[in-house]
Chains A and B, each alone.
Chain A
Amino acid sequence: MSSIGMILNIATTALNAQQYGMGVTAQNIANVNTEGYSRQNPVLVAKQPLMYGGLLLGRGVDTEKVSRSSDQFIENKLMQEKSNMSSSSEMEKYMQVLEGFFNENSGTSISTMVSDFWNRWYDISNNPSGASERISLYEQSVLLSEQFNALGTDLIQIDTDLTGAVTSGIETINKITHEIAQVNGQIVSMEANNVANDLRDKRNTLVSELNEYLDVQAFEQSDGSLTIVAARGCTLVHGNSDYDLEMGGTNGDRVRWQNSSGSYVDITNYLTNGKLGGWLDMRDEIIAKNRLDLDALAKEIIWSVNQQHSQGVGLEGFSSVTGSYAVSDSGEELGTIDSGLDFYDKVSDGTFNLWVYDSNGAVVGGSATSITIDADPGGTTLTSLRNDIDAAANISTSITTDGKLKIDADSGYTFAFSDDTSNVLAAVGINAFFNGASAGGIEINDTIRLNKDFIAAAQVGSGGTMASGDNNNALAITDLQSTSMSISQWNCDRINGNIQGSIISTIEDYYHSMVGAIGIVSASVSRDRSFGEMMVNELSTIRDSISAVSLDEEMTNLIEFQHAYAAAAKLIGVADEMLNTLLELK
């Protein structure tokens, strides 16, 4: 036989359980828009029945636990896709900037400038003695050089920006791993008694954020804590401890992890996903390649123009000229890297002619001094070249303190060069058109900047003749426009390093295919981003269908609990009436 007190007890458990249920529903409703929240359900069980009067009688209801609707497999898959997507979405942003630098839909593009540069040489070949044609070539060359300089600087700036992004990314990563370690500690202590639903959601959100920066693997330990491992097995979180990443290396641009024995592991090249992976791919592969290729192109323009220019002569001979390329050691052979010349590899065995003219324009000694260059070991050094040139009558030669060759004629005398088969004049920058050996360094040779008459449109004729209308050298320079040359082309790979190859191409075609390649990479990065976005969207929908809150559902639950609550209250009312009935018996 049951007692009225028992009914009251059962009703009380029911009131409690339904009220609890409403509390959980309220929590779900409150978190309808919370990122990463998994909806919760109270799990109700009937209380252990008691033997009462020989029969089993229930004792009411109990809330056993609050379960969380979550599928860890989907959560992990989603994190992974988010990691992929952040990588390509960061790359896409930087590719758009890079595309902007190489925008060819404007009159200031390098492509147009290179074409115009050759065209100005054509103009000079049409009118070699014309001053305006010379000035116009000079202006065009300045524009071209400045455009190369600006592009070179822009690429360096992106490189710096990317390193900055990686540095601040690492700060965020360290903050997140620190928080995860803290949450780990809280979960372990709380789960001794309960399941820490909300903390687990919080931890999932943190791991998901972490995945947006770099790809990590997470393992749940038996105590409920999560161990997080990044590339090359570097542990970022274990239990309630976290291990920081830092920027280091010679240039402070490498991502490093400190192991327990205090030594550093460089993991830069192994970070392939997340924002960090995107930034590093961009910096160490795409930007690196374009910087090297642009330098190679600038170097080829500088060399091919200088090489031909140094064969010619301007409207007048030199009275004094200083080379533009310095050696680091004037005692080293010019054809070796030890000389420190930018174009040491172009120096070969050969000869050139030095013509000296007196004040009447007559060739001193009636013929040229032929100077022989030996590019082999033991051959010509800057010092021996100086001595050989110095031996010519009415010429004095010196080496400047910064390692450049300087040639001076006696007062009233002038000199010119011809038929250089050794490339030595262009290599030391005598009678050259450009200075520098890279996109950032290209500029107009000082001699020409100061006097446009030294633009060498002509060539010294046999017997040393010079003619203002001679356009042979200008014509030879215009030939370069359609000449295919071997130009370095780089392949930059973070694992295998930067590998130098070369292609045979004209200068313009090389640049065009470089621009085309940027477009191809950019298009493929955009496709990756768009695909990643779609995957994240799909997986989010699946995740949400499992874990996110539906208000309709919660309303239904609310009514369910409300009615059960009302019924339980009614039960108490009935028990009350029953007690009253008893108490009213007199």
Chain B
Amino acid sequence: MRVANKAIYDAVKYNLGSISEELNKANEIATTGKRINNLSDDPVGLTQSLNIRSTLESIEQMGRNISYGNSWLTASESALTRVEDILSDTKALCVQMASGTTGADQRSSAAGTVQNMLDEIVSLGNTDVTGNYIFAGSKTDTIPFDQDGTYNGDNNAFAIKISKNSTVEVGSDGEEVFGNIFNTLSDLKTALETNDLSGIQDAMGYLDGHFEDISAKISDIGSKMNRMEIKDKIYQDLNFSNTERLSKIEDADIAEAIMNLSAAELTYQAALASSSKVMTLLTLVDYLK
């Protein structure tokens, strides 16, 4: 085929153009460390990576929800464990006070101890996490228990989401948790003051019931914390596996990227060398005198 001079220059332009485009692409991948730098580089991969990123954002949020919920459950657990202790102390006190050898004076002075215990349980019932009362149902900004044990909260326990479609009650309906503990203690106090032995014995019976209720509540909270822990573990695994998937989709294999870059560089250099040869090639003009 006839080769016109213009054809030589046009070919050089076209070839250098397309090779430098490849070089640029290879360089982009090597310098960013990412396979996908523009939407068009891999639209399907990009859609997947967007979905994974959303998932990761959700996982992170669920992690925050769980740690927030845990702070409520931990506070509930320690408050109720303390209540349990107080109840068993009260029970011990009752046993002592119900004994025939105990006198009216001793009973009357024990009434003060019971009052202190009552005060402490009220204060435990008013436990808060960062200003939110955990035993007030959903009225988290209202002090749930008055000094005499009157309940001011509501009956809807505060719940949070630990996955897209499951919620966990981390707060409590204080009325349900504390039941008649306050009445029992206040009756006990009166019984001690009035040296009413049968009143003391009644209280002992009630205290057993309360103790069981609180124990049950503590183990309920324990199982919730366990559930949260498992969920958290699952999220950590998911986070790991999704991050890995994201990296597989988005990140360039650096060794491969560098190799591709070197290959593109080599091609480019070869093209430059051969182009400069072709363009400076002597023509017949050089030989005519």
Residue A508, interface by CB 8 Å: yes
Interface segment among A104-112, A254-262, A347-355, A431-439: the answer is: A104-112
Report A469-493 CB contacts with B as 1/0, cut-off 8 Å. 1110001001101100000000000
What are 21 A-B contacts with C-beta separation under 8 Å? A99-B40, A111-B50, A122-B65, A123-B64, A126-B64, A127-B68, A468-B139, A469-B137, A478-B161, A482-B164, A508-B50, A516-B46, A519-B42, A523-B43, A533-B18, A549-B5, A549-B6, A550-B5, A551-B283, A551-B284, A555-B288
Residue B136, interface by CB 8 Å: yes
CB contacts under 8 Å to A, within B37-94, are 37-44, 46-47, 50-51, 53-54, 57-58, 60-61, 64-65, 68-69
State whether A122 touches B64 (Cβ < 8 A): yes
Residue A394, interface by CB 8 Å: no
A509-B51, A537-B14 given; A469·B141 CB < 8 A: yes
Report A206-230 CB contacts with B as 1/0, cut-off 8 Å. 0000000000000000000000000
Residue B156, interface by CB 8 Å: yes
A522-B40, A551-B284, A555-B288 given; A515·B47 CB < 8 A: yes
Give A residues with C-beta under 8 Å from B: 32-33, 39, 95-96, 99, 102-105, 111-112, 114-116, 118-119, 122-123, 125-129, 458, 461, 465, 467-471, 475, 478-479, 481-482, 508-509, 511-513, 515-520, 522-523, 526, 530, 533, 537, 540-541, 544-553, 555-556, 559
By beta carbon, the residue of chain A nearest B250 is A105
State whether A515 touches B4 (Cβ < 8 A): no
State whether A129 touches B50 (Cβ < 8 A): no
State whether B5 touches A548 (Cβ < 8 A): yes
A467-B138, A549-B4 given; A112·B57 CB < 8 A: yes
State whether A512 touches B47 (Cβ < 8 A): yes
State whether B140 touches A469 (Cβ < 8 A): yes
State whether A550 touches B3 (Cβ < 8 A): yes
Whole-angstrom CA separation of A416 from B86 in the bound complex:
44
Whole-angstrom CA separation of A508 from B49 in the bound complex:
12
State whether B47 touches A119 (Cβ < 8 A): no
A102-B39, A544-B10, A545-B2 given; A115·B53 CB < 8 A: yes
- Residues of chain A contacted by B50 (CB below 8 angstroms): 104, 111, 508, 511-512, 515-516
B40 touches which of A39, A122, A126, A523 (Cβ 8 Å):
A523
A550-B5, A551-B5 given; A126·B65 CB < 8 A: yes
Residue B34, interface by CB 8 Å: yes
Whole-angstrom CA separation of A556 from B2 in the bound complex:
14
Whole-angstrom CA separation of A553 from B283 in the bound complex:
10
- Residues of chain A contacted by B51 (CB below 8 angstroms): 508-509, 512
Instruction: List the 6 closest A-B pairs by CB distance, nearest first.
Output: A469-B140, A519-B43, A548-B4, A519-B39, A516-B47, A522-B40
A475-B167, A550-B2 given; A519·B161 CB < 8 A: no
- Residues of chain B contacted by A520 (CB below 8 angstroms): 40, 43-44
- Residues of chain A contacted by B159 (CB below 8 angstroms): 471, 475
- Residues of chain A contacted by B43 (CB below 8 angstroms): 516-520, 522-523
State whether A111 touches B54 (Cβ < 8 A): yes
State whether A516 touches B44 (Cβ < 8 A): yes
State whether B38 touches A469 (Cβ < 8 A): no
- Residues of chain A contacted by B68 (CB below 8 angstroms): 126-127
State whether B47 touches A469 (Cβ < 8 A): no
A523-B40, A551-B285 given; A111·B141 CB < 8 A: no
CB contacts under 8 Å to A, within B135-154, are 136-142, 154
State whether B161 touches A122 (Cβ < 8 A): yes
- Closest Cβ of chain B to A314, distance in Å, is 13
Residue B132, interface by CB 8 Å: yes
State whether B39 touches A475 (Cβ < 8 A): no
Residue B171, interface by CB 8 Å: yes
- Closest Cβ of chain A to B289, distance in Å, is 11
State whether B161 touches A125 (Cβ < 8 A): yes
State whether B39 touches A99 (Cβ < 8 A): yes
- Residues of chain A contacted by B34 (CB below 8 angstroms): 105
- Closest Cβ of chain A to B14, distance in Å, is 5
State whether B132 touches A127 (Cβ < 8 A): yes
- Closest Cβ of chain B to A31, distance in Å, is 10
State whether A115 touches B40 (Cβ < 8 A): no
CB contacts under 8 Å to A, within B118-143, are 130, 132, 136-142
- Residues of chain B contacted by A518 (CB below 8 angstroms): 39, 43
A469-B158, A545-B2 given; A537·B164 CB < 8 A: no
B7 touches which of A116, A545, A552 (Cβ 8 Å):
A545
- Residues of chain B contacted by A552 (CB below 8 angstroms): 283-284
Given contacts A126-B68, A508-B50, 8 further A-B contacts (CB under 8 A): A103-B39, A127-B68, A516-B43, A519-B42, A523-B40, A523-B43, A544-B10, A545-B7
- Residues of chain A contacted by B41 (CB below 8 angstroms): 519, 523
- Residues of chain B contacted by A559 (CB below 8 angstroms): 288
Whole-angstrom CA separation of A475 from B159 in the bound complex:
9
Residue B278, interface by CB 8 Å: no
State whether B167 touches A544 (Cβ < 8 A): no
Whole-angstrom CA separation of A93 from B5 in the bound complex:
31
Whole-angstrom CA separation of A580 from B18 in the bound complex:
69
Report B14-35 CB contacts with A as 1/0, cut-off 8 Å. 1000100000000000000010
State whether B46 touches A129 (Cβ < 8 A): no
- Residues of chain A contacted by B141 (CB below 8 angstroms): 129, 468-469
- Residues of chain A contacted by B58 (CB below 8 angstroms): 115, 118-119, 481
State whether A548 touches B7 (Cβ < 8 A): yes
Whole-angstrom CA separation of A19 from B256 in the bound complex:
63
Whole-angstrom CA separation of A178 from B138 in the bound complex:
81
- Closest Cβ of chain A to B200, distance in Å, is 39
Whole-angstrom CA separation of A270 from B158 in the bound complex:
64
A467-B137, A509-B51 given; A522·B39 CB < 8 A: yes
Residue B160, interface by CB 8 Å: yes
Whole-angstrom CA separation of A261 from B68 in the bound complex:
78
- Closest Cβ of chain A to B76, distance in Å, is 14
Whole-angstrom CA separation of A118 from B284 in the bound complex:
75
Residue B230, interface by CB 8 Å: no
Residue B259, interface by CB 8 Å: no
- Residues of chain B contacted by A537 (CB below 8 angstroms): 10-11, 14
- Residues of chain A contacted by B154 (CB below 8 angstroms): 461, 465, 467
Residue B273, interface by CB 8 Å: no
- Closest Cβ of chain A to B33, distance in Å, is 12
- Closest Cβ of chain B to A190, distance in Å, is 26
- Residues of chain B contacted by A458 (CB below 8 angstroms): 138
Whole-angstrom CA separation of A39 from B2 in the bound complex:
12
- Residues of chain A contacted by B57 (CB below 8 angstroms): 112, 115-116, 119
- Residues of chain B contacted by A544 (CB below 8 angstroms): 4, 6-7, 10
- Residues of chain B contacted by A114 (CB below 8 angstroms): 54
Residue B255, interface by CB 8 Å: no
State whether B47 touches A540 (Cβ < 8 A): no
State whether A515 touches B156 (Cβ < 8 A): no
